[in-house]
């Protein structure tokens, strides 16, 4: 080993050890891949230390110093690749790293096998690359091909990460890794070149690559490469321009005879002054021309802030503020999109505040999220009142312990920077900006400008929210007023209903009471005169029985309604069929239908599945509906009953039976389609009341449909009416629909037999 190579190798080993010690000392600062970093530095150290071995020394069989250097560099490249993949592959890094390690192990195994097959290992010797192809040395070819393949794969992974990056900072980091990979690759190639000079350069290049690797891992944000390249190119252009000016001046001086006297010195001074006068504006003009080409036009923060303040201050409505702020931000900061997020401190015990996305600008729909007051994001925005970039939120150690839901919420926004909107030391909103038009990262000056604009938004946002709250309060008051008006109308109707009920009930009860009293007086008088015979007694008893049955029917209806009101109607479920229910409901009405010359038909009942129902109550409900149709259908009209099966639409549901009872009667006003099911309600003038229970336009106290509704809903079904309107002359008719489940719901109130007794249960 020559003295120069010995010195450089020693220096390389010392620097490797220093890097290793520094990495151990900064362990907590390394963001990821700490183990792979140590392995990379360690194997690189071994490759440098191997140069201290004699060139002709054989360690194991044919494997000497050069083979040891190659194995160390290959292991270093594999560890370095695993480190890069861990850093750039945020999605499924274990899978990609596993594939990379498999490739690396195959490469090392190939080197080991080809070393045994080679007559001699000429790697890292003079002209070994030429000999690798002329003599087809297996070890050299395996080393060369493996290095090329591994390098291409690693560069492909880094380039893919660069192109798919959503954040410019992530793309810049991937670009930094691409440069570092190239530096490491060049260092490996130079180290095994076989030339002493190139080997020295290779060791130095490897050290530069390792320093870059360490810098990337201890810094979550690397320097802006594109900005640095732009700065370097701009500086180079200015240097070239300056050189051209100086060259022109020197040409003028060389062609001009200048005497070494006072006059000559004065001429040179005037020439220098002229050059200086020309150079300053030329340099400024060059800056103006070069800057837009390399970085785009710069943003004047004073002008941008003033323009933003002028436009935002005129916004009064919240929607107008969101639109104005978004459009002005897009124009001033030259970003692709922006938006406004409202902050609502609900004061909940969970210690979280609500973030509400306002539609407009970058956001197309309302969304909600939550952040913890104890979290790093709230501390940054509310406590420190500082802006925050999405890159820092994802990669900064400060936010390493951030809740996964918070991290996901901000990631779905696809924004690049956030600034708090503070009013009286209270966080009321967040100003969000998307990526820049030129895909440049947000620098500190950009975040400060965004924070300034957010501060200017505070008063406007507070006023807009106050206006929005006031409008919401007004709408709520108007809604409450409308509700009160409707409630008053309902109360008036109910009061009228109660008055009508008193009138109807007194009339209904007075009639059978008068009959009972009258027939009782007749019986008493005839009995005193001894004029009663068997036929007279039977007639009087029959009339008394009818009057008492009418009273019992009315009182029973009132009791049924009272049970429905307190949800105390017990149902005894047994298996029956819809056909049996309808038949039992209409059989007692046969004589009435004949007397009124009505036509009643029933279709679709046969073949329907059996149902679980309280037969007595369900018959009562359908009879009430049919009786209602009979009462409001003029003589000679029709009443049709149609039934059909409605199969379950989804698993877990049950089949339903739909029964429609339609008539050709006077119809129902649209406003009364729901009111007719309320107790005591009658949709016509009580003065038209007829004592006959089944006569046209005759009615009872208005309880029949109420009972029907309660019974049907107790079975888990529902009833509703449809009609085009009410008209006594044209008789538009009406239809009552009853939808019943085949199986009653579990919560239906039942009465079940238990040990010979009746026990009430509520499922």
Could you tell me how many residues make up the chain?
A: 763
pLDDT higher than 50, residue 754: no
State pLDDT tens for residues 472-520.
888 888 888 888 888 887 777 667 656 666 666 666 666 666 667 676 7
State pLDDT tens for residues 615-655.
988 998 999 899 989 989 999 999 999 999 998 888 778 89
> What mean pLDDT value characterizes the chain?
81
What per-residue confidence (pLDDT) applies to 435?
87
What per-residue confidence (pLDDT) applies to 488?
84
Calculate the alpha carbon distances from 80 to 210, 213, 541 in Å: 9, 9, 112
pLDDT higher than 70, residue 380: yes
What per-residue confidence (pLDDT) applies to 242?
77
What per-residue confidence (pLDDT) applies to 462?
83
8 A C-beta contact, residue 305 and residue 454: no
SS3 635: coil
Confidence of residue 294 (pLDDT cuts 50, 70, 90): low
Phi/psi at 54 (nearest 5 deg)?
Answer: -65, 140
Confidence of residue 561 (pLDDT cuts 50, 70, 90): low
What per-residue confidence (pLDDT) applies to 531?
67
State pLDDT tens for residues 729-749.
889 999 999 999 998 877 665
State pLDDT tens for residues 178-195.
999 999 999 998 888 878
Other C-beta atoms lying within 10 Å of the C-beta of residue 514: 11
What per-residue confidence (pLDDT) applies to 676?
84
What per-residue confidence (pLDDT) applies to 82?
92
Instruction: Assign a CATH topology to domain 557-762.
Output: Heat Shock Protein 90 (3.30.565)
CATH architecture of 301-468: 2-Layer Sandwich (3.30)
The mean pLDDT value for 34-41 works out to: 90
Calculate the alpha carbon distances from 170 to 160, 394, 445 in Å: 12, 10, 19
Question: What CATH number was assigned to the domain covering residues 3-222?
Answer: 1.20.1070.10
Partners of 340 in beta bridges: 431
* Rounded Cα distance, 430 and 121, in Å: 65
For 163: left if phi > 0, alpha if psi spans -120 to 50, otherwise beta; the answer is alpha
State pLDDT tens for residues 676-693.
887 766 666 555 444 556
Question: Would you list the DSSP string of 439-505?
Answer: -PPPPHHHHHHHHHHHHHHHHHHHHHHHHHHHHHHHHHHHHHHHHHHHHHHHHHHHHHHHHHHHHHH
Confidence of residue 541 (pLDDT cuts 50, 70, 90): confident
Other C-beta atoms lying within 10 Å of the C-beta of residue 433: 28
What per-residue confidence (pLDDT) applies to 701?
65
pLDDT higher than 50, residue 758: no
What per-residue confidence (pLDDT) applies to 689?
47
Token duo for residue 584: 């039992």
pLDDT higher than 50, residue 566: no
Partners of 363 in beta bridges: 360
The mean pLDDT value for 74-94 works out to: 87
More confident: 689 or 525: 525
What per-residue confidence (pLDDT) applies to 187?
92
Strands 638-646 and 599-603, by their bridges, are parallel
The mean pLDDT value for 359-370 works out to: 76
More confident: 114 or 530: 114
What per-residue confidence (pLDDT) applies to 550?
66
pLDDT higher than 70, residue 755: no
What per-residue confidence (pLDDT) applies to 763?
29
Confidence of residue 124 (pLDDT cuts 50, 70, 90): low
Angle at 740 between CA 739 and CA 741, to 5 degrees: 130
pLDDT higher than 80, residue 595: yes
Element (H, E) at 151: helix 138-164
87-96, 393-402, 539-548: segment of lowest average pLDDT: 539-548
Token duo for residue 358: 């306002």
Mutual angle of helices 196-218 and 168-191, in 10-degree steps: 150
pLDDT higher than 90, residue 117: no
The mean pLDDT value for 317-328 works out to: 82
State pLDDT tens for residues 452-472.
888 888 888 888 878 877 888
Phi/psi at 716 (nearest 5 deg)?
Answer: 85, 10
* Dihedral angle computed from the Cα positions of residues 87, 93, 95 and 98, in that order, rounded to the nearest 10 degrees: 30
């Amino acid at each position: 080993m020559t003295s120069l190579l010995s010195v450089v190798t020693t220096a390389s080993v010392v620097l490797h050890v220093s890097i290793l010690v520094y990495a151990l000392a900064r362990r907590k600062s390394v963001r990821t891949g700490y183990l792979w970093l140590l392995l990379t530095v360690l194997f690189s150290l071994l490759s440098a230390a191997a140069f201290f071995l004699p060139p002709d020394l054989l360690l194991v069989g044919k494997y000497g110093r050069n083979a040891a250097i190659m194995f160390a560099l290959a292991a270093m490249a594999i560890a370095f690749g695993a480190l890069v993949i861990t850093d750039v592959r945020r999605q499924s890094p274990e899978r990609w790293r596993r594939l990379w390690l498999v490739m690396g192990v195959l490469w090392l195994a190939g080197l080991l096998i080809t070393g045994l097959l080679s007559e001699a290992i000429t790697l890292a010797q003079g002209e070994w690359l030429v000999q690798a192809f002329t003599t087809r040395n297996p070890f050299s070819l395996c080393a060369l091909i493996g290095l090329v393949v591994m390098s291409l794969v690693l560069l492909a992974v880094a380039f893919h990460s660069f192109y798919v990056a959503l954040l410019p900072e992530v793309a810049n980091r991937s670009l930094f890794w691409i440069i570092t990979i190239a530096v490491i690759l060049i260092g490996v190639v130079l180290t095994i070149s076989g030339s002493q000079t190139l080997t020295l350069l290779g060791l130095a290049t490897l050290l530069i690559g390792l320093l870059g690797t360490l810098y990337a891992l201890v810094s979550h944000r690397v320097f802006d490469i594109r900005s640095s390249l732009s700065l370097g190119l701009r500086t180079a252009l200015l240097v070239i321009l300056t050189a051209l000016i100086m060259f022109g001046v020197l040409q003028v001086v060389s062609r001009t005879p200048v005497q070494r006297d006072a006059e000559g010195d004065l001429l040179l001074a005037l020439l220098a002054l002229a050059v200086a006068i020309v150079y300053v504006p030329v340099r400024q003009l060059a800056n103006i021309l070069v800057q837009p080409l390399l970085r785009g036009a710069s943003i004047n923060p004073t002008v941008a802030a003033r323009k933003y303040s002028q436009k935002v201050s005129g916004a009064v409505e919240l929607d107008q503020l969101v639109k104005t702020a978004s459009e002005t931000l897009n124009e001033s900061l030259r970003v692709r999109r922006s938006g406004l997020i409202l902050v609502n401190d609900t004061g909940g015990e969970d210690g979280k505040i609500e973030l509400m996305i306002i539609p407009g600008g970058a956001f197309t729909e309302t969304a909600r999220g939550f952040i913890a007051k104890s979290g790093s994001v709230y501390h940054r925005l509310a406590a420190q009142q500082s802006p925050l970039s999405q890159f820092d939120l994802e990669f900064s150690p400060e936010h390493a312990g951030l809740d996964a839901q918070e991290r996901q919420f901000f990631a779905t926004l696809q924004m690049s920077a956030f600034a708090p909107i503070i009013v009286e030391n209270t966080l009321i909103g967040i100003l969000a900006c998307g990526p820049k038009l030129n895909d440049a990262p947000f620098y500190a000056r950009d975040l400060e400008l965004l924070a300034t604009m957010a501060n200017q938004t505070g008063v406007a946002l507070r006023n807009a929210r106050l206006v929005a709250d006031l409008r919401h309060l007004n709408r709520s008051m108007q809604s409450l007023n409308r509700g009160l008006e409707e409630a008053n109308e309902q109360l008036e109707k109910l009061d009228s209903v109660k008055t009508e009920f008193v009138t109807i009930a007194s009339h209904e009860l007075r009639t059978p009471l008068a009959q009972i009293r009258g027939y009782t007086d007749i019986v008493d008088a005839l009995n005193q005169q001894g004029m009663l015979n068997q036929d007279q007694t039977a007639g009087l008893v029959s009339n008394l029985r009818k009057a008492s049955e009418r009273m019992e029917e009315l009182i029973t209806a009132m009791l049924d309604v009272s049970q429905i009101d307190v949800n105390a109607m017990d149902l005894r479920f047994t298996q029956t069929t819809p056909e049996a229910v309808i038949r039992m409901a209409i059989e007692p009405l046969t004589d009435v239908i004949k007397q009124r010359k009505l036509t009643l038909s029933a279709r679709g009942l046969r073949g329907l599945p059996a149902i679980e129902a309280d037969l007595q109550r369900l018959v009562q409900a359908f009879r009430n509906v049919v009786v209602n149709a009979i009462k409001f259908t003029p003589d000679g009209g029709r009443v049709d009953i149609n039934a059909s099966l409605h199969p379950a639409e989804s698993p877990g549901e049950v089949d339903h039976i739909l029964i429609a009872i339609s008539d050709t009667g006077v119809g129902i006003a649209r406003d009364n389609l729901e009111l007719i099911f309320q107790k005591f309600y009658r949709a016509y003038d009580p003065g038209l009341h007829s004592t006959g229970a089944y006569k046209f336009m005759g009615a009872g106290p208005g309880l029949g449909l109420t009972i029907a509704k309660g019974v049907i809903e107790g079975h888990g079904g529902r009833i509703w009416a449809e009609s085009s309107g009410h008209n006594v002359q044209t008789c538009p008719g009406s239809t009552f629909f009853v939808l019943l489940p085949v199986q009653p719901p579990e919560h239906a109130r039942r009465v079940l037999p238990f040990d010979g007794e009746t026990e009430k249960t509520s499922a």
